[in-house]
Structure 1
Amino acid sequence: MTYYQFDTIIIGAGLGGLVAGATLTKKGHRVLLLEQHYVAGGCATTFKRKDYIMEVGLHEMDGLYEKDIKKDIFEYLEIDKNINLIKVPEVFRLKSEKLDFTLPHGKKASYDKLVSYFPNEAKNIQRFLTFMDNILTELPQFPLEKWKQTITLPIMPLKFPNIVRAARKSLGAWLDYYFKDEDLKLLLQANLLYYHDDPYSMSMIYFAAAQTSYINGGGYFIKGGSQKLSDYLVSIINNNGGQVVLGKTVKEVIIEEGKAKGVLYHDKYQNSSKNRVYAENIISNAAIPVLEKMLPNKEALKINQKVGHLKPSCSLLSIYIGFKGDIKQYGSVNYSTFFSHKEVETLKDVHKNYQGDWTKRNFVFVDYSQIDAGLAPKGKSFGVICCADYIQDWESLSSDAYKAKKEEVASIFIQRLDQKFPGIKNEIEHYEVATSKTIRSYINSPNGTPYGYAQIKGQSGRNRTPLKSPIPNLYFAGSWSFPGGGFTGAIISGYLCATQIQDQPNVVSKDQNEPSLDTENKVTLIEKKLIAEDTVELSFTKPVSFQYNAGQYLILDLLTPKYTNLDISHRPLSIVSHPSEDNIRLAMRYSDSSFKKSIKEMDLNTVCKIYGPIGSFSTQNATKGISFIVAGIGITPILPLLKELEDQHYSNPVYLFYSNKNEVSTAYHHELQEVQLENFHYVPVFTETEERISAITLFSHLQQWDNFQYYIVGNSSFNKGMKEMLLSNPSINNEDILVDDFG
């Protein structure tokens, strides 16, 4: 007899997995959720850059409309009581050559505004809006199980007339059916990219449900970012007897007697042995094509026969922008503005445009400063430029070419934004670009799509991947299954998946004290000391299983940060200690950020979590002299690398050019003066009294530049400047330059 440690194991902590886990634990199930990333949430996450919380995926979530099942889910999980949902001012604004239209919230208000612009289409506007509303009305009663759909098929036209009717044509075909005015058609689907990239293959059912909810119920943003929702769902699971374990990769779904019985998983970052854990039910929140690879051939084939022919959706390119001022002064007065290029004259031009030239591709600008979003300090703003993206645009590029193309595309869109709001680009303090390749890297989604299978005819509604897989005890939740992608789709999918299994009796007693599987990443603070002005070194216990190489970094996650305003709980930090040391040492500059303030007041014996190691910044392939060019706290990975070279008795010359304001702000200044490495030359540069590091600085010491390999560590502007300086010398090859992006 199989010993079940949990009632349900969930693979993946996207919104579908988190909602399924939260729902089941509230029903008394013992849940284990395993997530490969060190952050839960999938696309419902945030990250920190400078003063800004950068929202990864949420522009707005369709409204908590009385006909929307999500309203009941939010009430059941008490999301409405624990998450601050802020209503955005309008559905959207569309700005094109021919039309500047802001669509308001509310059934009557939207109808009246549409009719005022398109009076000749008044009757059909009413018919179309009513048609969409009726579709949403029928959806909650629509049977989920395939067998129920089959036996209901004869009476479906009577019981679900609008759903059956909608399924006959695409969104584009229905717009052509109802309207003659091309500007009106383009307007009504202006935010199509929230769901898909082609109106003539877009499911009318999925579009109608979401769009009606936006129009009639309003759009909402989560104050502080979507990570707040993800973290709250994690807390429900953990506080109700479940476990959410991050940084763990599921390699295999265990199949016994033809049924899914458990999983094999291991630490994503460590070469640790696989752990075997069993449960009565397995829910996959992973992309279904990824899940296939976790299954034995026989079961993988069963899945593939069901989904192998399905097409994934498009991806998105996002440019996250922190503005140093209030951008309303430049004419940004709407929350989300969709800009349509002049060449998009008819509905048939939309899909071609989404795949077209970057200088013409339609895009949306979301200005979160129009509401109290909690993403930027007072007086500053945060916004996102977003457009359609496709993995084939990036797949074949080298690392350098990929970075260059991202910069090129960002420059194009920022310039286009500045043409719409003259002067706005001068307010940009920081920006970051995420492509389909970025999304694939973080959430392990084929083609980098956040939407799963495309919402097209044959893949939507009753044809969507069901919540139950063809393998007993294995279920699907999330964007790749019913009802589909987006925040709302994933949330509903997770909840409905949980309802498929929640009536089964618990196989694990709630009193059974299953030990935590989340202990190997925990570390304890054992020493904290100042090593320079406003610079601290932290020493933590080192887990027995934690192995790393000199020059790598890790993620430090504060479990109970004292301060949280405008910040996240984790940071990537280079490891100061050498792998041979018994403890883990990290160092950082203090600042006014909540994370750094929490560190400053953190007591000894405080427990944190680490994930890693990550990155590869190594002198292992050094064959020439070595020149480290370092600024500030970028010195952290250099210390263990010097120790490594010392242990190797490296005989080629090693230079360290180390830039700081002055001696008192120079971390490890005295330790560097005592490095016991043959032919080591320490060159501190104090910019308060000396020139900054320049070609003259290097040449005065190195003489023959081509006899060295160069290792640059500092902030992004320092790294970029130093690399450009080196490459301006024709005797230095690009392959002899290594830059640590996390310095």
Structure 2
Amino acid sequence: MIQSYKKKHQLLEHYDVILIGSGMGCLAAAACLTKEGKKVLVLERHTTAGGYTHVFKRRGYEWDVGIHYIGEVNKEQGVLRRMFDYVTDSELKWADMGEVYDRIVIGNKTYDFPKGVENWKNAMKGYFPEEEKAIDRYVDLVFEVSKFSRQYFAEKAMPGYVQKLAGSRMRKSYLKYASRTTLSVLQELTSNEELIKVLTGQYGDYGLPPSRSSFAMHISISKHYFGGGCFPVGGSSRIAETVDSVIENGGGTILINAEVAEVMIENNKATGVRLQDGKEIHGDLIISGTGILNTYKKLLPQKVVAEHNLASQLDHVTPSAAHASLYIGLIGTPEELNLPKANFWIYPDDLDHDKCVERFEKDMDAPFPVVYISFPSAKDPTWNERYPGKSTIDIITVMPYDIFKKWEDKRWKKRGADYEALKEKIAQRLLEVLYQKLPQVKGKIDCYELSSPVTTRHFMNYEQGELYGIDHNPDRYKQRFLQPKTPIKNFYLTGQDVVSAGVAGALFAGFLTASTIIKKNIVKDRLF
């Protein structure tokens, strides 16, 4: 169980696999490799395992920091559901969010996203009756490009000689769209700017507005939720808890408060890790799930980085968007407060998404370009048993890192009055947005806490407080080095940077990395 991370462990001198970081990518890879008979050690610098799947507790409340909803898990035979079942021994359960999973709010207009492809199409055609052909073509394109993705990602796990022989052909169809912006593709389907704004109303799920994002990333999110949204029963901490049981039953260990200072390399071969306290742990294979920027800048010896010219790879990627999150605790059950399960995506109505972002980047007093509101306590059927008489709400908005940069070297909770005043200003603005949509919660708020980009930097170890690893722009998908294998023998990558944004992308990356190592397609050979 999660509490066992806090017990003292008798560390071995040597492991089959050492994984750095306990986000979804490393958790999935560790569970897969455990089931292949490997003895694994997962090292987490934080006091809680799980990466963006972990929760934090304060003042008698619990908040999920990164999990707000997951798609494609409500059907037991679906690929993603089978992947989750595999790494958790089917102990992780899911609660359906209902008929509507997202509400796109543009000014005074609301556009519901209902579950089911035909329901979704009919809803969109009801809002935009003159755009039937564009909507049909859009949905067809989502599934068409998604089909192309299979070979694109499978190629990442292929042996080097196969990549040389067939790699270009396997990537070609997907790159035709992945190398284009979301906006450029949608503008070929329709000239209706309002429809484009609605179709891209979930762009916060990957952090880039339409003119900056890859169409491939956009369609993966759209398709992911067509079947509806789900939430982990018992909260998102159940993900790490259930995966830990699989790892522990296989003789592996997840160790918290264990920050890795350096990966040890001898003769271009990874041999182990050195912790911050100087302790060395040896392993046959080392996997980093901390992101390519952290891995190459902080974990690898600079001599090795220079030898393989790895720094030049980083010139082709950029950190993803930073964000601010307002965590709210309320007196009253979700039912008493009439909290919905569906998420709100709230946008200004005067400009398109890109111009709204540009305006805010220049002037933070301008309207927020996006405000996302989630109601986790309403989504979890066990909430009232665990926290009777209480509820929670999460509110998220994009937040340029530079606004908080001057406090990046200050200690958490010790950043001064100016920092707290800025956070309070942002918090009050976000509360006003909440009250406009749910006036009944005014006066019911017991506590709230704003997390800034430098807080994300402190806890998640992302240099600029980024939420989704590296940006999912068109250039990202052209980079061949974003794969599990590295030029260093026995050293691998996993996580969002290998596949795509979010928990589902990181889960898939964990399977991809494990498949690369054992030279078998785990999804095909073990799940079907």
Write the distance in 1 (CA, Å) between the matches of 2:493 and 2:240.
19
Find the partner of 1:322 among 325, 329, 334: 329
- 8 A contact 2:26–2:289 mirrored in 1: yes
Shifted more, 446-455 versus 461-470: the winner is 461-470
User: Deviation per CA, 1:238-296, whole angstroms, max 9, x where unpaired?
Assistant: 22011211111111111111111111114xxxxx5x11121111101123222222222
Q: 1:331–1:343: structure 2 CA closer, same or farther, 3 Å change rule?
A: farther
User: Deviation per CA, 1:2-21, whole angstroms, max 9, x where unpaired?
Assistant: x9811111111111111111
| Post-superposition offset of 1:149 | 4.6
Q: Secondary structure at the match of 2:141?
A: helix
Write the distance in 2 (CA, Å) between the matches of 1:174 and 1:332.
36
Q: Identify the residue that residue 106 of structure 1 maps to in structure 2.
A: 116
Shifted more, 44-53 versus 327-336: the winner is 327-336
User: Deviation per CA, 1:646-686, whole angstroms, max 9, x where unpaired?
Assistant: xxxxxxxxxxxxxxxxxxxxxxxxxxxxxxxxxxxxxxxxx
Q: Secondary structure at the match of 2:156?
A: coil
What code does the residue aligned with 1:265 have?
L
Find the partner of 1:230 among 230, 237, 240: 240
User: Deviation per CA, 1:609-659, whole angstroms, max 9, x where unpaired?
Assistant: xxxxxxxxxxxxxxxxxxxxxxxxxxxxxxxxxxxxxxxxxxxxxxxxxxx
Write the distance in 1 (CA, Å) between the matches of 2:237 and 2:170.
40
Q: Identify the residue that residue 33 of structure 1 maps to in structure 2.
A: 42
What code does the residue aligned with 1:259 have?
K
| Post-superposition offset of 1:331 | 6.7
- 8 A contact 2:334–2:378 mirrored in 1: no
Q: 1:153–1:471: structure 2 CA closer, same or farther, 3 Å change rule?
A: closer
| Post-superposition offset of 1:461 | 6.5
Q: Identify the residue that residue 498 of structure 1 maps to in structure 2.
A: 514
Find the partner of 2:194 among 183, 187, 203: 183
Aligned length: 489
Shifted more, 45-54 versus 485-494: the winner is 45-54
Q: Secondary structure at the match of 1:237?
A: helix
What code does the residue aligned with 1:199 have?
P
Find the partner of 1:117 among 107, 127, 138: 127
| Post-superposition offset of 1:320 | 0.8
Q: 1:371–1:461: structure 2 CA closer, same or farther, 3 Å change rule?
A: farther
Q: 1:496–1:383: structure 2 CA closer, same or farther, 3 Å change rule?
A: same
Find the partner of 1:365 among 366, 373, 376: 373
Q: Identify the residue that residue 299 of structure 2 maps to in structure 1.
A: 294
User: Deviation per CA, 1:399-418, whole angstroms, max 9, x where unpaired?
Assistant: 32111211111111112211
- 8 A contact 1:94–1:100 mirrored in 2: yes
Q: Identify the residue that residue 24 of structure 1 maps to in structure 2.
A: 33
User: What TM-score does the superposition give when structure 2 sets the normalisation length?
Assistant: 0.87
- 8 A contact 2:341–2:378 mirrored in 1: yes
What code does the residue aligned with 2:378 have?
Q
Q: Does 1:457 align with 2:462?
A: no
Q: Identify the residue that residue 141 of structure 2 maps to in structure 1.
A: 131
Matches within 5 A, 1:37-436: 37-64=46-73, 69-78=79-88, 81-89=90-98, 90-97=100-107, 99-142=109-152, 143-145=155-157, 147=160, 148-152=162-166, 155-156=169-170, 161=173, 163-215=174-226, 217-266=227-276, 272=277, 274-292=278-296, 293-301=298-306, 302=308, 303-326=310-333, 332-344=339-351, 346-352=352-358, 355=361, 356-357=363-364, 360-361=367-368, 362-375=370-383, 377-397=387-407, 398-436=415-453
Q: Secondary structure at the match of 1:311?
A: coil
Structure 1: give runs of 5+ residues left out of the alignment.
267-271, 505-743
User: Deviation per CA, 1:37-76, whole angstroms, max 9, x where unpaired?
Assistant: 1210111111112332111111111223689642331232
What code does the residue aligned with 1:295 have?
L
- 8 A contact 1:222–1:373 mirrored in 2: no
Write the distance in 2 (CA, Å) between the matches of 1:10 and 1:155.
32
Q: Does 1:485 align with 2:490?
A: no
What code does the residue aligned with 1:275 have?
K
| Post-superposition offset of 1:329 | 6.7
Structure 2: give runs of 5+ residues left out of the alignment.
1-11, 408-414, 521-528
| Post-superposition offset of 1:469 | 1.5
Q: 1:66–1:190: structure 2 CA closer, same or farther, 3 Å change rule?
A: farther
Identity of aligned residues (%): 26
| Post-superposition offset of 1:388 | 0.7
Q: Identify the residue that residue 524 of structure 2 maps to in structure 1.
A: none
- 8 A contact 1:385–1:413 mirrored in 2: yes
What code does the residue aligned with 1:477 have?
T
| Post-superposition offset of 1:463 | 4.7
Q: Identify the residue that residue 732 of structure 1 maps to in structure 2.
A: none
Write the distance in 2 (CA, Å) between the matches of 1:43 and 1:495.
18
What code does the residue aligned with 1:366 have?
S
| Post-superposition offset of 1:30 | 1.0
| Post-superposition offset of 1:318 | 0.8
- 8 A contact 1:206–1:461 mirrored in 2: no
Pick the structure with more helix per residue: 2
Q: 1:310–1:336: structure 2 CA closer, same or farther, 3 Å change rule?
A: same
Alignment RMSD (CA, Å)? 2.4
Q: 1:354–1:72: structure 2 CA closer, same or farther, 3 Å change rule?
A: farther
What code does the residue aligned with 1:47 have?
F
Q: Identify the residue that residue 440 of structure 1 maps to in structure 2.
A: 457
User: Deviation per CA, 1:485-525, whole angstroms, max 9, x where unpaired?
Assistant: 21111111112111111249xxxxxxxxxxxxxxxxxxxxx
Write the distance in 2 (CA, Å) between the matches of 1:224 and 1:71.
17
Q: 1:262–1:153: structure 2 CA closer, same or farther, 3 Å change rule?
A: closer
What code does the residue aligned with 1:467 have?
P
Q: Which has the higher contact order (CA 8 A, sep 6+)?
A: 2
- 8 A contact 1:40–1:230 mirrored in 2: yes
Find the partner of 1:470 among 487, 494, 499: 487
Q: Secondary structure at the match of 1:77?
A: helix
- 8 A contact 2:454–2:464 mirrored in 1: yes
| Post-superposition offset of 1:172 | 1.2
| Post-superposition offset of 1:472 | 1.3
Q: 1:154–1:279: structure 2 CA closer, same or farther, 3 Å change rule?
A: closer
Q: Which has the larger radius of gyration?
A: 1
- 8 A contact 2:54–2:65 mirrored in 1: yes
Q: Secondary structure at the match of 2:504?
A: helix
What code does the residue aligned with 2:182 have?
L
Write the distance in 2 (CA, Å) between the matches of 1:246 and 1:347.
40
- 8 A contact 2:341–2:379 mirrored in 1: no
- 8 A contact 1:354–1:388 mirrored in 2: no
What code does the residue aligned with 1:171 have?
T
Matches within 5 A, 1:642-721: none
- 8 A contact 1:453–1:484 mirrored in 2: no
- 8 A contact 2:268–2:489 mirrored in 1: yes
- 8 A contact 1:53–1:375 mirrored in 2: no
User: What TM-score does the superposition give when structure 1 sets the normalisation length?
Assistant: 0.62
- 8 A contact 1:85–1:222 mirrored in 2: yes
